[in-house]
Amino acid sequence: MEILKIEFLKLRKKTRIWLGPILVFWLIMIAYPLTVELLQDRLQIGFFSVLWIAILISMMLATEDIFTEDYNDGSLEQTIIQESSFQVGIGLKVFVYWFLIGIPVSLLSFIFSFGTTQNFELSLPIFPLSLISSYIFLNIFVLGNSLSLNKGSVLGALVTMPIALPVLIVLGKGMTALQFDINFESFILLLLGSLSIIIVLIPIVVSYIIKAHLE
Amino acid sequence: MIKKFIHQFASPKTFLLQVERSYSFIFFTSLCIYVFSIVWGLLFTPEDFVQGNSYRIMYLHVPASFLSQSLYIAMAVSSVTYLIWRVKLAAYLVIAIAPIGAMTTFIALISGSIWGIPTWGTWWQWDARITSTLILFIMYLGLISLHNSFSNYEKADKLLSWLVIVGAVNIPIIKKSVDWWSTLHQSASITLTEKPSIDPVMLYPLIGAIIGFFGLIVCLILMSSKNQIFIREKNKSWVKDYV
C-alpha cells in the first residue's frame, strides 16, 4: 500500500507525464473530424479505428520515461536491493499510470464516441473496451521501455509495437461484433483474459529485464 | 542430467567441430533435394485446374512461410535455454537466426504477393495472414535493432531473449489467423492431423522443397552461428588456434 501511495504521489507531481498523453489523445480525436471535411455525416466510419490508434499512441507516450528517472537517480537499484517483491512494485507503478492516464482517456473515449455516433448503446461498451485495452497497451509499452531503458523510447516502441497490433485487430473485430450485435461479450472476455495474463507476466519479465540492465 | 547434456554438447568449441564435420553433408544433401524437388515441381507436375501455372511459386512460398514461423520458434526455444541454463551458444543462435528469419519472412511476403496477382487479382490485401506475417517481419527487424543497439553483448543477449519469448505470442496468432478470421488466404493444405488437401502429384515435390529449403537454411544458420562464435570468443586461445 505504501508503494502505491508513493508511486501515486510521484506521478501526480509530474503533471507533464500524466497530462501530456491525455491532451495528445484529446487533440487526435479533435483533429479527426477536421480531416474529413466533406464527409461529416460519415464520421462514424473511421471513428473507432482512430480511437484505438489514439489510445495506443497516448499509452505509448505515457510510458515514455516510466523508468528513466528512477534509473538515472539510482532508485531502481535501491529498490532491487531493498525490496523482496520488485515485480509487485512494477505492477503497482503500471497500475498508477493506468489510474491517472488510462481511466481519463477511457472516459474521454466514451464522450467522443457518444459525441460522434450519437448512439448511447454503441458508445457505452467503448468505456470498458478502452479501460481494458489501455491497460494492455500500457503493460506492453512498459515492457518496451524497460528493454530500451537508456536507449530512448523510440526503440522500445519499435520492438513492442508488433506485440500490440493483435490487440488492435481484436478491438476492430469487437467493434464489428458490437455494430452487428453478434456475441460482443466474447471479445470483452478475450481481452480480459489476455489482460489477466499480461498483468502477471509483464511485471515479472520487466523486473528481470531491469535487473539485466543493472547487472 | 539435461543441464549436463546441454553444457557438454553446446560448448562453442564442440559446436564448431560438429559444424565442420556435418556442414558439407547437410549442404550438398539439402541442395540436391531442393534442386530435384524444384525441377520436379516446375517441369513435371501438371497445371492446376484453377490457377494454371501460377501455383508453381508455392515451391518457394510454402517453404519460406513455414520457415519464417519455425525459425521464430527455434529462437524462442534457444532464448529459454539461454535464460534458464545460461548456455552461451543458445544466445549466439538467437542472434544468428534473427536476420535469416527476417530474410525467409521477406521471401514469403514477396513470393505471396507475386502469387496473389494472378490468383486474387491483387498483390496485397490487408488480410489476417498477410498482415500477421508482415508483423512478424517487423518483429524480426525490431529484434535485430534491439540487439545492435547495445555494445555489451551479454546484456543485449538477455534483453533479446526476453523479447523473443514475449513476442512468441504472435506465432499462434499467425498460424491460426486463417481459421480465426475470414481471410482471402487459404487454410493450411498440409496438417499433422488431417489428410492433405493437395494432390499427391504436387504434394511430394512440395515436401521435398520444404525439406531441401529447411536444410539450406540450417546451413546458413550454422555459418551465421560460426561467425557469432568467432566474434564473441575472439580472445579465447582455442579460437586463435582454430583460425
Q: Which residue of B has its CA nearest to A146?
A: B159
Do the Cβ atoms of A155 and B145 come within 8 Å?
yes
Tell me the average pLDDT across B125-133: 85
Tell me the average pLDDT across B107-115: 95
Q: Which residue of A has its CA nearest to B149?
A: A151
Torsion of CA B118, B121, B125, B128, to 10 degrees: -70
CB atoms within 10 A of CB A34: 7
Q: Picking from A12-26, B27-41, B113-127, B168-182, which range would have the lowest pLDDT averaged per residue?
A: B168-182
pLDDT for residue A190 is more than 80 = yes
CB interface of A with B, residues 134-193, below 8 Å: 143, 147-148, 151, 155, 158-163, 165-166, 169, 173
pTM over the 0.80 mark = yes
* Chain B residues lying within 8 Å of A159, measured CB to CB: 139, 142-143, 145-146, 163
Using a 10 angstrom Cβ sphere, with 0-12 exposed, 13-18 middle and 19 or more buried, the burial of residue B176 is middle
Task: Give B48's DSSP letter.
Answer: B
* pLDDT value, residue A84: 66
Per residue in A140-178, pLDDT (tens digit) is 999 999 998 888 888 888 899 988 988 888 888 888 888
Rounded-to-integer distance, Cα A19 and Cα A24, Å = 9
* pLDDT value, residue B1: 67
* pLDDT value, residue A111: 95
Do the Cβ atoms of A166 and B158 come within 8 Å?
no
- Do residues A59 and A141 lie in contact, with contact meaning Cβ atoms separated by under 8 Å? yes
* Chain B residues lying within 8 Å of A173, measured CB to CB: 181
Tell me the average pLDDT across A182-206: 92
Q: Picking from A97-106, B140-149, B173-182, which range would have the lowest pLDDT averaged per residue?
A: B173-182
Preferred mutation among B79, B159, B169 to probe A, highest tally of A CBs within 10 A: B159
* pLDDT value, residue B120: 87
Beta bridge partners of B52: B48
Q: What angle do CA A107, A162, A134 make, to 5 degrees?
A: 15
Preferred mutation among A163, A176, A186 to probe B, highest tally of B CBs within 10 A: A163
Tell me the average pLDDT across A182-192: 89
| Closest chain B C-alpha to A195 CA, distance in angstroms | 13
Tell me the average pLDDT across B99-116: 96
Q: Please, which residues have CB within 8 angstroms of residue A73's CB and are 6 or more apart in sequence?
A: none
B134 in contact with A, Cβ within 8 Å:
no
Tell me the average pLDDT across B221-233: 93
* pLDDT value, residue A205: 94
Model confidence band, residue A4 (pLDDT cutoffs 50, 70, 90): confident
* pLDDT value, residue B217: 97
Model confidence band, residue A79 (pLDDT cutoffs 50, 70, 90): confident
Tell me the average pLDDT across A22-29: 95
B139 in contact with A, Cβ within 8 Å:
yes
Please name the residue ranges forming H helices in A36-152.
43-62, 68-72, 75-82, 86-97, 103-117, 120-123, 126-147
Model confidence band, residue A38 (pLDDT cutoffs 50, 70, 90): low
Model confidence band, residue B174 (pLDDT cutoffs 50, 70, 90): confident
Q: Where are the domains of chain A?
A: 2-214
* pLDDT value, residue A77: 86
CB interface of A with B, residues 58-77, below 8 Å: none
| Chain A to chain B Cβ contacts (< 8 Å) | 61
A207 in contact with B, Cβ within 8 Å:
no
| Closest chain A C-alpha to B164 CA, distance in angstroms | 10
Rounded-to-integer distance, Cα B75 and Cα A9, Å = 41
Tell me the average pLDDT across A174-196: 89
- Do residues A155 and A148 lie in contact, with contact meaning Cβ atoms separated by under 8 Å? yes
Rounded-to-integer distance, Cα B38 and Cα B109, Å = 19
Do the Cβ atoms of B149 and A148 come within 8 Å?
yes
Percent of chain B at pLDDT > 90 equals 60
Nearest partner of B135 among B96, B174, B163, B97, judged by Cα: B174
More confident residue, A215 or B192: A215
More confident residue, A183 or A193: A193
Task: Give B152's DSSP letter.
Answer: -
* Chain A residues lying within 8 Å of B139, measured CB to CB: 159, 162-163
pLDDT for residue B102 is more than 80 = yes
Percent of chain B at pLDDT > 70 equals 96
* pLDDT value, residue A83: 61
B162 → closest Cβ in A148, A155, A205: A205
